Structure 1
Amino acid sequence: MRIKVAGFLSVIYFLLLFFTLPHYGINWDTINHLPRGQAYLHYFLTGERRYESLPTWKPYWQKTEGLGVDTDQVGDEISGRSYYQLDSNPFEWYLEIDGDGHPPLSDILSAVFNRVLFGELRLVNDIDAYRVYGVVLAASLVGLVYYWIAGVYGGLSGLVAALSLATYPLFWSESHFNTEKDVPETVYWTFMIYCVWRGVTQKNIRWTLLSGVFFGLALGTKFNVLFVGLVIVPWLTSYWLGKYWGRRKEFWKENRRILWVSLGAILLGGVIFVGSWPYLWFNFPEGVMRVFGFYRTIGMTTSIDPRFVGKWVINTYPIQWILYTTYIPVLVLAGLGVVRILREGLKEKTKLMVLMGLMLFVPVARVSVPGVTIYGGIRQIMEYVPALSIMAGLGAGFLTEKLKKRLSKPVVGLAMVIIFVPHVRHLVRIHPNENVYFNSLIGGLAGAKESDLPAWGNSFGAAYRQGVGYINENAEEGARVVYAFELIPNVPRIWYRQDLTIHNSRRSGYLRKGEYAITLTYQGTSNRSYYDMYLEGFLTPVYETSVDGVSILKVWRNDEAHLKRSVEEELVSMVQEKTDFGVRLELNEPRSLSRLELKYSEKNCNPVLGIYVQISLDGKSWARLPGSLPEDWLIPEIGEQPMGGGFIEPFVGQEVKYIDLVMSPVDACLSQVLSSKLYVFKESEK
């Protein structure tokens, strides 16, 4: 019966995830994963280092509303070649540049699903076919959690654990699109620990070897699994000490074979890791060290936001994020689960509660210690989610035992299930933006924004698809589309109508040439660039996606019709002087700036290497404007600045009296100002 219930839960969860796939965009680093997966898979299948045997890929528009292959072309004109089988990124290219990122195994397995479901069967469109891989894994994990916990602690504990996992906002949302890294790693991590537990407690060679397979799958996805030893070794110690204390010979006799097989399982995992990554075939062991260097770079830090520095310099950000993004009844039940572990854990025969506690503690603790960093929420340690869900299941069982004298077990069980109803209703209301969920402890997403919690509102690409749908439906033929700041590959080109021009060089800023601008809006985006500040300050969005009253995606039309304030300008006089850092401009009084235009001499001077602009009201407190010239093109329609004896610096209405042009070298040509114009917004129209 238990296996049937687990299977039923997995199937239901799979169907729910599968049929909601078209509601989610892609992970915004997908471009780093899927082309690599396709290149390696193509090599495995054909031996080709380039896509010589494939037909030329032809552009088309894949409509975003459904799962099927629904395009603007006749069906037989769409080849089975994927959008991500890029001629510019072949196998031989990855042999040269790979190694500065995560391993590719889940990229390859995603490509397998694409080749079957899209390339061969045409059942699912090109993009969503990749994500079915993650959907299958996530559904399997829900089934495993029920099967595991129900088998030891009863059906109610198993059901609550499975429901806690299935409805965990981060897990539900990212199972649709974060399918090359964090979701697969979470699944393989949990399956591996389950197999180790079965193998050791039952002295079963097959389960032990199977743990090696999952170790290899996890290692081939992300290096997070290397911390699994901090879970398994303490658990093994407590389990074996409890069972074999004072019986060393008996221990060796009964476990010798499992210990040797465990070493074999570790080697098996290593073989899977190296065997699935052709880059390492030609760069071993140097390539492995390069990957370790990548993880050291992204995972280590010398500074922590002082708001999250706790006792002993512990980083409290991960713990706070968990507290604020977990459904409160699940938090309460998980707390009871922790109490149960402290009371009963060491008394258990197999010490499973100890294992569960370590599964939760280790992922969180490893990013909380001094010198280690985590960013963008805690999706990078998603392994904690099934463990926290299991804690809730243990807490549900604990509470049931305490209440059994007052209430019947069925009543308590029904109540445990009913408490998820309000949560599910809320998730339906914010769908498909569940990964920006915050609970009432912080006041929802609005409270997280007010508290300026790092990464509030960041959907990591999931919300783009909603904005793309609006543009496809409403933009006139031949319209131009840009991203406010992000990169073009954040959305597959085939999701846009073919007649649209998608290129960031069309950002026109104050020129207002009518482009559509789309962006994710979250902590820090409103002032990260001139164009962001211009869009937010001057234009009314034509489309918004909001959660708890907070926008997480906006689309603007950069034209006169959508201005939300007057932009009438006038020229003002100013005093300029050379300084030891470049040029300073001083107005007679603070004014709301529009733009600065300079003409300068290019004779007998050095070319400028770098410029930034800082502004001040009083000449004492300065604010640096985003961007560093000439690398950053503030308005691509104007081009690189400075250039050809001219310089334009746009502003967004800041109240300013002093402007500093800080340049390197200080005697650059730009310091030889011939003439200047400063445009400000008229006083009466502020």
Structure 2
Amino acid sequence: MTTSPAPKTTRFPIDGGIAIAIAVSYAIVLLRTTHDLGYARDEGFYFQAAQAYGKWFDLLFSNWRAAIDLKSVDAAWAANNEHPGLIKSLFALSHLVLHKKLHLFSMEGTSFRFPGIALASAGVALVYRWGAQARSRLAGFIAAALLAAMPRFFYHAHLACFDAPIVTMWMLCAYCYWRALRSSGALWPILCGIAFGLALDTKHNSWFLPFAFIAHAALVHIRNRFLYAGRGESPPENKEAKRALLALACMAAIGPAVLYALWPWLWRDPVGRFRNYALFHLHHEYYNMEFLGRNYWIPPMPRSYAWLMTAATVPAVTLALGIAGLWARARASFVPPLVRAARLLVAWKKRADAPPPSPPSQVSDARASTDLLWFLGIAVAYAPWLSSNTPIFGGTKHWMTAYPFLALFAGAGFCSVVAAARRVLARASEKKRRPIALTLARAPYLPAILAACVLAAPVVETARSHPWGLSSYTPLVGGAAGAATLGLNRTFWGYTTGSVVDYLNREVKKGGTVYIHDTAGQAWDMMVRDGRLRRDIRASWTIAGADFGLYHHELHMQGQEHQNWVAFGTVAPAYIGGLDGVPVILVYRRPDAAPPPR
């Protein structure tokens, strides 16, 4: 297989401008929808860590010699050292520079969330860029829009967490690898190594990237051998395999160096501390998760979890187009070598020569290589859930790195739908002599009409899901109500407290106490600092003695609701928050808890 032609650089000004516009537009939407989204438990922990890192950065800017002293480093970076430092560093710098110095955000919590928002938006833009280069602008735009309009991705894109950033970093590394295969020189392999280092310093999902790229290089080589077998000649020099090896070598050499440089916690003892970090995740504590009416805590976990939850949470239109695109590209790229292998087997059994195949073109080779890389991006992300030992407590966020590749196939599938629609309309105009059908078949605005039809449902689903992102389910399972009936998890992380702050501000007496249940103390404090909660309302860690009690519905926490009944002498909540009539967070009230004076 020869080196595939490089992407057209002359298109960069237009495609680059479109990508920037997509990123800015999505970031604006995310920023405008943060005010009513409560803070997740993990965000609270990362706020605390980022503030510790922020003090270190302050010292670095004022006295760098004191800052790089290992005692100073360890004192600051010991916080939350079970997770890499890059994204929390961005949280810290955003809070330090954009909030404290430039005063760009009205709510302090948004300054911590902004790096995640920016990276998620960049990821959506990168999907467009890759889709436009590999297929067409139309395919890239549809892919980007479908990723942006996934309710679970939209929720995570708001957060000061690592789940949306690792989607972008994973994508960036895969894109740099893809560009490395299609270029000469060392630039893109080096960028691939740097991107891998950034991914390593984002989240442990990055550990699976080399497996995807090694499998890609090997399978492309095997496909090439099958296509040329029986032609009486050797395959052309496989430059793509050599470029893949160069990219992998750069990942191995540069990636760990970037991780070490950008995570000061490793500076004192890089091997020992990385080992501790790896062991923490390889032997992670199991948490509870409801699935089909059963609470799972320890293995064995259900192997169907990832697949069913994907079907239940990704809009059906996106899934259908993704499967259609994957099927169409599989037929075009991988059926020919399989057919060739079958012919060789038959010829071998008959002791005859197989008919020589027609040589593949550079374009078909390049597309097949891209298709395989996208497929492996999906397969590797889902692979851990083939094991019954893999925890399921994080829900869809743990395989969310697959979603950009699913969206890219969906973009390709949409282009196939447009082409099929043109053919159908053209045939209809010929058979029944309908000029309107012919006009539509040739109309440049037909893709826009079909795009509006395709995007309408995912956009509406995503808009309706906010701010209840983890409670959102698609009509395929009956929406939120159907999912509750099926026994699918309604919520976790305690973030829905943000949806009852208006009630609490209105009803809690001055100096009153609220049992905050699953909400992290740091998350509650941030809502107070934001001005979303009255400062005089006090958080309580016990129901006894509290004026109000929160209950975030999870199957394994039903005992907490019973404790509210006993403490407050009632089974009737004073306030219920939820999605589409499904209770997600309930507020119980002490009968004698008088509201503040109006």
Task: Please state which band the TM-score falls in when normalised by the shorter chain.
Answer: 0.7 to 0.9
CA-CA distance at 1:131 after TM superposition: 0.7
Aligned to 1:6: 19
Q: Report the equivalent of 2:319.
A: 331
- Matching residue of 1:238: 219
Residue aligning to 1:415: 450
1:221 equivalent in structure 2: 202
RMSD: 3.3
- TM-aligned CA deviation for residue 181 of structure 1: 1.2
CA distance in structure 1 between the aligned counterparts of 2:407 and 2:246, rounded to whole angstroms: 33
Correspondence for 1:637: none
> Is this contact kept in 2: 1:175–1:183, CA < 8 A?
yes
Do residues 367 (structure 1) and 380 (structure 2) align? no
Q: How does 1:142-541 map to 2 (within 5 A)?
A: 142-177=124-159, 179-242=160-223, 250-251=237-238, 259-260=245-246, 262-298=248-284, 315-346=303-334, 348-350=364-366, 351-407=369-425, 408=441, 410-453=445-488, 456-484=489-517, 486-491=519-524, 492=526, 493-495=528-530, 496-505=533-542, 507-508=543-544, 515-528=547-560, 530-532=562-564, 534=566, 538-541=570-573
Distance 1:306 1:462, change over 3 A: closer
* TM-score normalised by the chain length of structure 1: 0.68
- Tell me the secondary structure at the aligned position of residue 405 of structure 1: helix
Task: State the shift of 1:343 in Å.
Answer: 0.4
Distance change in 2, residues 1:431/1:304 (3 Å)? closer
Q: Counterpart of 2:173 in structure 1: which amino acid?
A: M
Higher-helix-fraction structure: 2
- Does structure 1 residue 36 correspond to structure 2 residue 18? no
Q: Structure 2 vs 1, CA of residues 11 and 282 (structure 1 numbering), >3 Å: closer, same or farther?
A: same
Is 2:116 the partner of 1:138?
no
After superposition, what is the alpha-carbon deviation per residue over 1:644-683, rounded to whole angstroms, capped at 9, x for unaligned? xxxxxxxxxxxxxxxxxxxxxxxxxxxxxxxxxxxxxxxx
Residue identity opposite 1:227 in structure 2 = F
Contact 1:337-1:395 within 8 A present in 2 as well: yes
Aligned equivalents of 2:448, 2:541: Cα separation in 1: 55
State the shift of 1:186 in Å. 0.8
Cα offset, 1:426, TM superposition = 3.6
Change (3 A) 1:387 1:251: closer
Q: Distance in 2 between matches of 1:305 and 1:432?
A: 22
C-alpha distance in 2 between matches for 1:479 and 1:271: 52
Counterpart secondary structure, 2:395:
coil
Instruction: Identify which range, 317-326 or 377-386, moves more after superposition.
Output: 377-386
Q: 2:39 matched to which residue of 1?
A: 26
Distance 1:314 1:337, change over 3 A: farther
CA distance 1:305–1:469, change in 2 (3 Å): closer
**One-letter amino acid of the structure 2 residue matched with residue 134 of structure 1:** G
Contact 1:36–1:108, Cα closer than 8 Å, also in 2: no
- Range that drifts further, 482-491 or 228-237: 482-491
Identical-residue share of aligned pairs (%): 23
- TM-aligned CA deviation for residue 37 of structure 1: 2.9
SS at match of 1:217: helix
**What CA distance in whole angstroms lies between the structure 1 residues aligned with 2:520 and 2:175?**
40
| Preserved CA contact (<8 Å) 2:301 2:392 | no
Query: Structure 2: which amino acid aligns with 1:29?
Result: D
Contact 1:134 1:176 in 2 (8 A): yes
Equivalent residue of 1:2, what SS?
Answer: helix
Q: Secondary structure at the match of 1:285?
A: helix
> Does the CA contact (< 8 Å) of 1:182 and 1:381 recur in 2?
no
Aligned pairs (5 A) from 1:551-562: 551-560=583-592
The separation in 1 between residues aligned to 2:161 and 2:95, in whole angstroms, is 13
Change (3 A) 1:49 1:280: farther
Query: For residues 370 and 49 of structure 1, do their structure 2 counterparts lie closer, same or farther at Cα, with a shift above 3 Å needed?
Result: farther
Alignment match, 2:97: 116
Name which of structure 1's ranges 152-161 and 419-428 shifts more when overlaid on structure 2.
Answer: 419-428
Name the SS of the counterpart of 1:23 in structure 2.
coil
Larger relative contact order (CA 8 Å, sep ≥ 6): 2
State the SS of the aligned residue for 2:476. Answer: coil
Greater Cα shift, 19-28 or 255-264: 255-264
1:86 is aligned to: none
Deviates more, 1:393-402 or 1:406-415: 406-415
Rounded Cα–Cα distance in structure 1 between residues aligned with 2:323 and 2:375: 11
User: For each residue in 1:238-292, what CA deviation from the matched residue of structure 2 results, as whole angstroms up to 9, or x when unmatched?
Assistant: 334556877689447x875774464234322211212222222223311111111
Gapped regions of structure 1 (runs ≥ 5): 54-89, 563-686
1:313 Cα deviation from its structure 2 partner? 9.3
Q: 1:559 to 1:218 in 2, by over 3 A?
A: same
Between the aligned partners of 2:292 and 2:589, the Cα distance in structure 1 is 39
Q: Distance in 2 between matches of 1:353 and 1:41?
A: 42
Residues 402/485 of structure 1: CA separation in 2 closer, same or farther (3 Å cut): closer
Q: Deviations over 1:378-397 (max 9, x none)?
A: 21221012122112112112
What SS class does the counterpart of residue 554 from structure 1 fall into?
strand
CA contact (8 A) 2:44 2:522 kept: yes
CA displacement at 1:325 relative to structure 2: 0.6
1:306 and 1:494, CA in 2 relative to 1: closer, same or farther beyond 3 A?
closer
